[in-house]
């Protein structure tokens, strides 16, 4: 039996999610369909890059087009795939955890359409650059550093899309406040708590990129202003650019904390610990952005040092997560009859794609965490800065911890919001393992190539002649592994999309839907959490103060010499 399908008797008197909350189900479905489309396109761009860079196959694009392709890959996967998934699962989570409809179907549709139109504008600008006749272009990569310039449509689309995400948050908060009126004094349900803290972090973080785009880059590309300060715009970007990684990760954490324990056959170990972790992310996500600017002149070393210290503190919530999630899995395994120190691992449902994908994603996240510690060290960062090590690192984190979890949990979520049974179960079962093996190859070789000095973001890495064997391996072997790994990954992404499209097109199943959205109570529940944890206003205020401390002085010094003036700050 497929373990996450509840037995029919349990479900007899429970309506499926789609029947209880048809509007939330529709918004989730719409968000996920855009997300999966972005994934499919992004994955195809991924294999093109991987084969081009490694010299295995260069027939599809010219090296000049490589940068538009890479921009498309970065933006479609890191922004649109992940964040449309987030709006999907958070919409589901809001209704599911509050037990309540969204406050207004029109408003929900409006924010979704705003996000969609922004994404279409930005994608048009990027892919226009690949088609000769069209005057659009955007080969500014996913970080769009000034003075690189894209067509105004690129920036306008990003701003529109961003406004859509803000309104999505308003929708969830509004639904929460209505629930609060009817349930004074009750603890915030855990999933809702996670959604709220994540969105508060997002409001703080996106302020930076909104100012960057609206005040500087869009006017610059429209020709309204002559110059911008590259350091200031980079600083505004990374003010957003670090917390966005938690915006990618929080849907995965949300899943690992609230759904994975059930898929393992048990319950969440501790609700209070989960709340503490999300508060720590709200507090510490933003005041660390300078760890992406260790190599930037003009940022005082002291502020880089503060960012490094905060970054190392951020390891704490991740270690807490590793502990809580593994403890919940072990509890589940023992409920299923598992025994022994490690023998319980065998009792986990490795044949269930939703479980296997989440567990493998978590495992790879541990490896990504360790290479992240190397990135975060002010001194050893210079060893790996802008080398292929960095894509090696973030394909483990956003590219697997987030991406694979999102794919895996869709096997469980999608039937609930479509009313269809999952199709092609056998394909789904092997898909997470294909991704895991592909990423094992690609990421490992990228890390080693980075240590050997191979740069990232280039269509022509001129390092073919060197041989780093036996220490790091030979260059040709690393290139081959990147090509094979990248191909497996793209295969994995397309297998996933195949299962989803197959499920979407299938007839609505006979009898009752068998995937159950009900989540069991944690072992240590909300009543064990100190009430102060639910005081999200307090945590929000502290987060704002920390941001002001970390960024106030450096930003002041950058604008003191004139907002649009690129002159160096006075250090």
CB 362 within 8 A of CB 256: yes
Pick the closer one to ligand HEM by CB: 76 or 190.
Answer: 76
HEC profile of 445-501: HHHHHHHCCCECCCCCCCCCCCEECCCCEEHHHHHHHHHHHHHHHHHHHHHHHHHHH
Contacts with ligand HEM, 367-406, as mask; x by CB under 6 A: ------------------------x---x--xx---x---
47 contacts ligand HEM (rule: CB under 6 A): yes
CA–CA distance from 26 to each of 19, 39, 119, 405, 553 (Å)?
11, 20, 19, 21, 46
Contacts with ligand HEM, 308-327, as mask; x by CB under 6 A: --------------------
Residue 456's binding partner out of Cu ion, ligand HEM, none, with CB under 5 to 8 Å set by partner kind:
ligand HEM
Residue 141's binding partner out of ligand HEM, Cu ion, none, with CB under 5 to 8 Å set by partner kind:
ligand HEM
CA dihedral 251, 255, 257, 261 (to 10 degrees): -170
- Identify the burial level of 510 via C-beta atoms within 10 angstroms of its C-beta, where 0-12 means exposed, 13-18 middle and 19 or more buried: exposed
183 contact partners, CB below 8 Å, separation of at least 6: none
| Spatial distance between the Cα atoms of 481 and 470, rounded to a whole number of angstroms | 16
Residue among 53, 73, 151, 242 flagged as catalytic:
242
Active site residue 457: yes
| Spatial distance between the Cα atoms of 14 and 519, rounded to a whole number of angstroms | 13
74 contacts ligand HEM (rule: CB under 6 A): yes
Pick the closer one to ligand HEM by CB: 46 or 569.
Answer: 46
Pick the closer one to Cu ion by CB: 200 or 288.
Answer: 288
Burial 292-317 (b: 16+ CB within 10 A, else e): bbbeeebbeeebbebbbebbeebeeb
**What residues from 122 to 181 belong to the interface with ligand HEM (CB under 6 A)?**
141-143
- For residue 530, say if its preceding peptide bond is cis, omega within 30 degrees of 0: no
- For residue 428, say if its preceding peptide bond is cis, omega within 30 degrees of 0: no
232 contacts ligand HEM (rule: CB under 6 A): no
Residue 479's binding partner out of ligand HEM, Cu ion, none, with CB under 5 to 8 Å set by partner kind:
none
Residue among 267, 395, 421, 447 flagged as catalytic:
395
Residue 331's binding partner out of Cu ion, ligand HEM, none, with CB under 5 to 8 Å set by partner kind:
none
Residue 30's binding partner out of ligand HEM, Cu ion, none, with CB under 5 to 8 Å set by partner kind:
none
Pick the closer one to Cu ion by CB: 390 or 536.
Answer: 390
Long-range contacts of 344-349 (CB under 8 A, 24+ apart): 347/265, 348/264, 348/265, 349/3, 349/4, 349/263, 349/264, 349/265
**What are the tokens at 84?**
């449309």
Active site residue 395: yes
43 contacts ligand HEM (rule: CB under 6 A): yes
59 contact partners, CB below 8 Å, separation of at least 6: none
What are the φ and ψ backbone dihedral angles of 501, each rounded to 5 degrees?
-65, -40
Pick the closer one to Cu ion by CB: 247 or 435.
Answer: 247
100 contacts Cu ion (rule: CB under 5 A): no
CB of 370 to Cu ion, least distance (A): 15
Active site residue 433: no
| Spatial distance between the Cα atoms of 298 and 17, rounded to a whole number of angstroms | 53
Active site residue 187: no
Active site residue 73: no
CB of 528 to ligand HEM, least distance (A): 35
Report which of 400, 408, 411, 414 is spatially closest to residue 88, judged by C-alpha positions.
Answer: 414
Report which of 514, 308, 500 is spatially closest to residue 411, judged by C-alpha positions.
Answer: 500
479 contacts Cu ion (rule: CB under 5 A): no
50 contacts ligand HEM (rule: CB under 6 A): yes
Residue among 394, 414, 496, 551 flagged as catalytic:
394
| Spatial distance between the Cα atoms of 472 and 448, rounded to a whole number of angstroms | 6
77 contacts ligand HEM (rule: CB under 6 A): yes
Contact segment (CB under 5 A) with Cu ion among 80-88, 237-245, 258-266, 535-543 equals: 237-245
Residue 368's binding partner out of ligand HEM, Cu ion, none, with CB under 5 to 8 Å set by partner kind:
none
CB of 71 to ligand HEM, least distance (A): 6
Q: How many CB atoms lie within 10 A of CB 511?
A: 8
What are the φ and ψ backbone dihedral angles of 67, each rounded to 5 degrees?
-75, -30
Active site residue 242: yes
Q: Given candidates 29, 53, 242, 448, which one binds Cu ion under the rule CB under 5 A?
A: 242
Pick the closer one to ligand HEM by CB: 192 or 489.
Answer: 489
Residue among 246, 269, 355, 436 flagged as catalytic:
246
Contact segment (CB under 5 A) with Cu ion among 35-43, 138-146, 241-249, 556-564 equals: 241-249
**What are the tokens at 472?**
């790091």
88 contacts ligand HEM (rule: CB under 6 A): no
**What residues from 463 to 522 belong to the interface with ligand HEM (CB under 6 A)?**
486, 489-490, 493
Active site residue 100: no
By CB under 5 A, the count of residues binding Cu ion is 1
CB of 535 to ligand HEM, least distance (A): 33
Residue 428's binding partner out of Cu ion, ligand HEM, none, with CB under 5 to 8 Å set by partner kind:
none
What is the contact surface with Cu ion in residues (CB under 5 A)? 242
What is the contact surface with ligand HEM in residues (CB under 6 A)? 43, 46-47, 49-50, 53, 70, 73-74, 77-78, 81-82, 141-143, 391, 395, 398-399, 403, 456-458, 486, 489-490, 493
Q: Which residues are catalytic?
A: 242, 246, 393-395, 456-457
């Amino acid at each position: 039996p497929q373990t996450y399908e509840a037995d029919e008797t349990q479900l007899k008197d429970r309506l499926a999610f789609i029947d209880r909350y048809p509007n939330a189900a529709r918004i989730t479905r719409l968000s996920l369909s855009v997300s999966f489309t972005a994934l499919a396109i992004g994955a195809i761009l991924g294999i093109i890059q991987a084969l081009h860079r490694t010299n295995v196959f260069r027939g599809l694009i010219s090296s000049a087009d490589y940068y538009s392709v890479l921009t498309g890959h970065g933006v479609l996967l890191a922004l649109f795939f992940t964040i449309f998934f987030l709006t999907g699962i958070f919409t589901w989570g809001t209704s599911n955890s509050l037990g309540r409809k969204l406050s207004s179907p029109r408003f929900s549709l409006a924010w979704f359409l705003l996000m969609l139109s922004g994404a279409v504008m930005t994608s048009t600008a990027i892919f226009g650059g690949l088609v000769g006749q069209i005057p659009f272009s955007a080969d500014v990569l996913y970080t769009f550093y000034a003075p690189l310039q894209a067509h105004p449509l690129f920036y306008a689309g990003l701003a529109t899309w961003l406004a859509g995400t803000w309104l999505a948050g308003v929708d969830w908060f509004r639904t929460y406040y209505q629930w609060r009126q009817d349930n004074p004094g009750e603890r915030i349900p855990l999933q809702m708590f996670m959604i709220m803290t994540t969105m508060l972090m997002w409001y703080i973080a996106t302020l930076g990129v909104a100012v960057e785009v609206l005040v500087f880059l869009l006017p610059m590309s429209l020709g309204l202003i002559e110059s911008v300060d590259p350091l200031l715009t980079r600083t505004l970007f990374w003010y957003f650019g670090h917390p966005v990684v938690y915006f990618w990760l929080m849907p995965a954490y949300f899943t690992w904390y609230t759904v994975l324990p059930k898929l393992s056959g048990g319950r969440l170990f501790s609700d209070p610990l989960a709340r503490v972790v999300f508060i720590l992310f709200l507090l510490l996500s933003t005041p660390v952005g300078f760890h992406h600017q260790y190599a930037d002149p003009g940022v005082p070393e002291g502020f880089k040092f503060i960012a490094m210290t905060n970054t190392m503190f951020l390891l704490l919530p991740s270690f807490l997560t590793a502990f809580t999630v593994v403890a919940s899995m072990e509890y589940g395994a023992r409920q299923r009859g598992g025994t022994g120190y490690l023998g319980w691992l065998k009792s986990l449902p490795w044949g269930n794609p939703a479980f296997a994908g989440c567990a493998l994603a978590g495992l790879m996240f541990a490896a990504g965490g360790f290479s992240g510690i190397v990135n975060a060290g002010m001194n050893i960062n210079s060893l790996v800065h802008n080398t292929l090590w960095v894509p090696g690192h973030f394909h483990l984190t956003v590219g697997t911890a987030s991406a694979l979890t999102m794919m895996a949990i869709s096997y469980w979520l999608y039937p609930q919001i479509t009313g269809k049974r999952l199709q092609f179960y056998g394909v789904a079962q092997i898909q997470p393992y294909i991704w895991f093996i592909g990423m094992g190859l690609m990421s490992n070789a990228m890390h080693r190539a980075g240590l050997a000095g191979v740069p990232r973001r280039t269509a022509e890495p001129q390092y073919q002649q060197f041989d780093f064997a036996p220490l790091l391996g030979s260059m040709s072997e690393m290139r081959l592994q990147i090509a094979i790994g990248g191909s497996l990954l793209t295969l994995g992404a397309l297998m996933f999309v195949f299962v989803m499209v197959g499920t979407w097109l299938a007839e609505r199943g006979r009898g009752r839907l068998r995937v159950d959205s009900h989540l069991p109570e944690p072992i240590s529940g909300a009543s064990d959490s100190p009430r102060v944890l639910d005081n999200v206003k307090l945590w929000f205020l502290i987060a704002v103060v920390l941001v002001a401390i970390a960024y106030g002085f450096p930003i002041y010094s950058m604008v003191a010499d004139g907002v649009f003036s690129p002159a160096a700050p006075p250090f």
